A and B are shown apart, each in its own frame.
Chain A
Amino acid sequence: MESVALVDLVERYRQNGDLLSLLKSVQRRCGGLDRDTTAQLAEQIGLPVSELYGVITFYAFLSPRPLGRNVIRVCRCLPCTNRDSQTVLGTIKEELGIGPGETTVDRRFTLQMVNCIGACDVTPSMMVNEKRYGNLTPARVAQVLGSYL
C-alpha cells in the first residue's frame, strides 16, 4: 500500500493527545488501518506497533481490514431486531449485493452489524458513516444508499 501523508493528523494528536480520534481520522483517510499504515503511524507517534494494534482491534469502529469509502452500520439490537432489521439487511443485499462484513467490488460500501446506535426511538435504524437513519423501510434504505452513490 502506498503511504499516505499523515503529518497534519499526527501534529493534531501531539497537541490534543486524543488517540482514538487520530485513529479514526487515519482510518477515514486511508480506508482502514492495515498493517503498513499501523506500523507507519506507530513510528510517528512513538508507540509500539503491538500496542497500537491492540487498541485498533479492541474497538468496533476501528478496522484492521480495508473498508469501503462509506461504512454502513446496521443495528442488530433487540429494539431494532424486533422491528424487522432483517428487512434492512435484505434491502442492502438487493441494492448492493453485500452481506455483513463485506465490501462492494467498487469499494464504495462496507456493511457491518453493530450493537445499539442509540436510535431505539426510530427503529429499525442504521448509520452511514457518521449519520443515523431511522424508521427504515425498503424504499427509505434504497433512497439513503442512493445518496451515497
Chain B
Amino acid sequence: MPEHRVVLRNCGKIDPTDIASWLAVGGFQGLDRARSELTPEAVIGEVKASGLRGRGGAGFPTGLKWELTRKSPGDERYVICNADEGELGTFKDRYILERDPFTLVEGIAIACYAVGARHAFLYVRDEYGDLLDHLHRTISAAEAERPLGCSIHIREAAGAYVCGEESALMESIERKRGEPRYRPPFPPSKGLWGQPTVIQNVETMMNVPTILREGPEWFANLGTAQSKGTKVFSLSGDVSRPAVFEVPMGTPLREVVEQMAGARSVKMVQVGGASGRVVPYERIDAPLAFESILGAGAIIVYDDSRDAVEVGLRTMEFFLEECCGKCSPCRQGTEALVEILEGLVHGRGRERDLTLLQDIAENMMLASLCGLGQAAPNYLVDTLQSFRNEYLARLAA
C-alpha cells in the first residue's frame, strides 16, 4: 500500500501563509456545508457515522464524545485542541501546524458549531514556540475570510510531558500546575472550568472537515472494521528516512518501517513512543489499527546494535523526569524502576531484579492515576518477554 494522504492532503501543496491557496483546494467547504445544510445534531450524526476515533492514543469515538458534551448541562461549552505532542519520537503535529494550519482551524470551528461552544483553546507545546506567530496569523486570516462562530485562543505550554494528558492540560489552562485529575467526571460532563468540554488531538480535528466535505461513507470506506480512515505516523530512530507518513488504518507495520522509512536489520519497534508497545521483529507484520497496535503516532525503530536494557533505562529515566508526582504508584514506581535498571546496566543486577521489575510495572499499570503512570512500564513489560535473555545476561554472576 502506498502512502494515502487524507489528513496531510494539503501539506506541501498549499502556501500555509496564504489562505487563498487553501480556499482553492476546498478550504472551508466542510464548515460551510455544516452550517448551511446541517443542524449541530446532524453534524454530530455524520461524525458518528464516519467511525472517526480519537487519534491521541485512546481511540474514543469522536462523534459520541461530541454528543455527550452537547447534551451535558452547563453554562458554557468549550472545545480544546491538544497540540502538546510530547511523546518521544513524535513530530507529526508540528508537520501539520507548519504546513496546513487552516484545516485545523476549520476543524475546530466545526467542533464548536456541533457542540455549541463559543470559545476554543489551541494548546501548543512550548517547544513549538516558533510556530505561535504563524498560528496567530492563521486564525486572523481565517476570521477575516469567514465568521468562525467561535474565538480560538492559543495557549502556550511550558515543557511538561504530562500536560498532553487531557485533564492535566485543562489544569494547565486553568493556571495551575499541570497535574491530572481524578476521573470521573470526564471532560464531556465536567471539563475546563467544570464545564462540558470536547478535547481532541490535532490529527482528529484535521479529519473533521474532510468528513463533512466528502461525507461519512467516504471516510468509513477507508481502513478496517474498527479503525476507520488513515493514520499519520512520525518515523524516527534507526531508519534512513525519518519523516511523517500517512497510511490507511490496517497497513502492516513492516511497510511503514521498512518500505517507507527504509529501516534495515530491525531489532524492535516502539509503536506509540516511550509509552507505546514494543514490537519485536518477528511480529513486524502486525497491522496498524486500534484493534491491533497503534498508539498516538510515534514509531521509533531500533536496529540490531541496540541493547534492550539500555533503551529501557533511558525510557524509564524519561518517565521519572516527566512524572508529576501526584500519585505514589507512578512517583515511587518510576524511581524504583530506574534504580533497578541502573543496577542492571552497571553490572549490579541481582536475581530478584527481574521479578521486582515485573511486580512494580504491574502495580503501576493497575494503580496509577493517569495514562502516564499506567503506560510508563509498557516497554519493560514487553521487553521482559521478548528480550528476556538480555536482562538475564545483565545479572551479576
Residues of A with Cβ closer than 8 Å to B? 16-21, 23-24, 47, 51, 54-55, 58-62, 77-79, 81-82, 114-123, 127, 130-132
Contact = CB atoms under 8 A, between A and B. Distances in A.
B129 interface: yes
Contact of B242 (A21, A121, A132): A121
Interface string B299-323: 0101000100001001100100110
Nearest to A79: B236
B343 to A, nearest CB: 20
B125 interface: yes
A82 B307 CA distance: 11
A23 B94 CA distance: 24
Contact of A78 (B86, B160, B234, B311): B311
A58 B177 contact: yes
A124 B237 CA distance: 11
Given A55-B176, A78-B311, 13 more contacts: A18-B156, A20-B172, A55-B175, A61-B159, A78-B274, A79-B89, A79-B236, A79-B242, A114-B159, A118-B127, A120-B242, A122-B242, A123-B242
A107 B289 CA distance: 50
A77 B273 CA distance: 11
29 contacts: A16-B153, A18-B156, A20-B156, A20-B157, A58-B179, A59-B158, A59-B160, A61-B126, A62-B159, A77-B88, A77-B89, A77-B274, A78-B300, A78-B314, A78-B315, A78-B318, A79-B300, A82-B306, A115-B321, A116-B86, A116-B88, A116-B161, A118-B90, A120-B88, A121-B234, A121-B242, A123-B236, A130-B129, A130-B130
Interface in B137-170: 153, 155-161
A120 B236 contact: yes
B188 interface: no
Interface in B234-266: 234-238, 242-244
B158 A132 contact: no
Q: Looking at chain B, what size class is its interface with the partner chain?
A: 35 or more
Interface in B281-335: 298, 300, 302, 306, 311, 314-315, 318, 321-322, 324
Given A20-B172, A78-B274, A118 B324 contact: no
B63 interface: no
Contacts of B101: none
Contacts of B128: 118
B362 interface: no
Contacts of B160: 58-60
Contacts of B244: 121
A25 to B, nearest CB: 10
B153 A61 contact: no
Given A117-B127, A120-B234, A81 B314 contact: yes
Contacts of B274: 77-78
Contacts of A123: 236, 242
Interface in B193-249: 234-238, 242-244
Contacts of B86: 115-116, 118
A24 B156 contact: yes
Interface string B76-94: 0000000001111111011
A85 B324 CA distance: 26
A24 B155 CA distance: 12
Contacts of B179: 58
Nearest to B172: A20
10 closest A-B pairs by CB: A60-B159, A59-B158, A61-B159, A120-B236, A19-B175, A130-B129, A58-B177, A121-B242, A79-B236, A117-B127
Contacts of A114: 127, 159
B107 interface: no
Contact of A18 (B155, B237, B314): B155
